[in-house]
Structure 1
């Protein structure tokens, strides 16, 4: 299973939000330093999130450029990518893969166009949910649609990678809701990445047992609950 460190960008800094709440922010300093540290510890892929763009409060494209220039490993970019122009911009910044969320829930024709533009290997879809209650617009809005129905729709459209994040637990170190992850795993036949609340090695081993292909880690790495080099030897 691939372990993917997350670097969330807000105001040019690396931060973590608790349950996606911008008022509950913990700052972790320079995103370039964080990204380099994860690379040195053995990461082979990185997850970058532009929180300001996702929330409609600005953007962190200059910080993305700095991180991209400092890395020798590929990264995927998420956050506020809601048009073909934004998709092309993200790819031009050097992203190996782009992650879209709100578009994939609210505008299926645009999602199809994005798949045609980037190809399924360079476009992933974010399933952000409180359990299985779908959230959009930087996790600030509920969407009146079934998460499991969405997965079936996305598979039929040609999506091949989904990132499931449990908004209730993200940034809390509360551990995973494995029953929900198991339901998502059962419903999704292709590559599945999961995150939101990972607290330690047991969570990673549980994801591996469920057949999840990748885990996205944030606060657990920043605060030493998981040591990437050690975890890579186990999972």
Structure 2
């Protein structure tokens, strides 16, 4: 009898949008960017052409209060026909509703999940768990907010029971200290977060190569959001283990 292997975790290409370009930041610092595509639409087209079944878009300008990139996000949604989730600066129901009405598959709530948790409950009640995701970006297990520039004093384990009770199905966890660094996932931290969240877990922060994808499978983590590794080719996309 052949050995049973766990399914290959989902690798979700990330398109971070800052000042109208597709970039990646080092450790979340908006001043330490690498531009990969002058057009986020071209970046999204690239990953869609390689078979991406889901794209993760982050409006970095909205996250840091420097502006927003809704027109290009709407263009990506309308042109590609690939499911898209969008995060960055979604801190009230109106901004979430605008994106959902534009055809975004699901909105990603970050800072507001800490500051105004009732927003998550309201959106889940209105649209269901298929349209709403929460992203907890953290240094260690302390959640970072407002585009990762502020520590919240709130621990991931303080939030996960409430989020699960509210009906959330999918949680994104990002290790801010490794995001964009190609240093590899922090296995101990990923394992700890896995114990804290009973639903679908998508992680990010430092994915470098196939070793990290195998780590996800070994720890029972459903997927990862990946940027720099697939842009620079240290992880071949689409991923086949």
Q: Shorter-chain TM-score: what band?
A: over 0.9
Q: Deviations over 1:162-199 (max 9, x none)?
A: 00000000011111111011011111110100111101
Give the number of aligned pairs: 232
Aligned residue in 1 for 2:222: 213
Q: Secondary structure at the match of 1:228?
A: coil
Q: Secondary structure at the match of 1:179?
A: helix
Is 1:144 the counterpart of 2:153 in the alignment? Answer: yes
Question: Normalised by the size of structure 1, how large is the TM-score?
Answer: 0.96
Aligned residue in 1 for 2:36: 28
Aligned residue in 1 for 2:6: none
Aligned residue in 2 for 1:58: 67
Q: Deviations over 1:18-53 (max 9, x none)?
A: 111111011112211111111121211100000000
- Point out where structure 1 has 5 or more consecutive residues left out of the alignment: none
- Point out where structure 2 has 5 or more consecutive residues left out of the alignment: 1-8
- Residue 66 of structure 1 and its aligned partner are, at CA, apart by 2.1
TM-align CA RMSD: 1.0
- Residue 109 of structure 1 and its aligned partner are, at CA, apart by 1.8
Out of 168-177 and 151-160, give the one that drifted further.
151-160
- Residue 110 of structure 1 and its aligned partner are, at CA, apart by 2.1
| Matching residue within 14, 19, 23 for 1:11 | 19
Question: Normalised by the size of structure 2, how large is the TM-score?
Answer: 0.93
Aligned residue in 2 for 1:113: 122
| Matching residue within 152, 162, 165 for 1:156 | 165
Alignment of 1:61-80 (within 5 A): 61-80=70-89
CA distance in 2, matches of 1:111, 1:32: 29
Out of 150-159 and 161-170, give the one that drifted further.
150-159
- Residue 118 of structure 1 and its aligned partner are, at CA, apart by 2.0
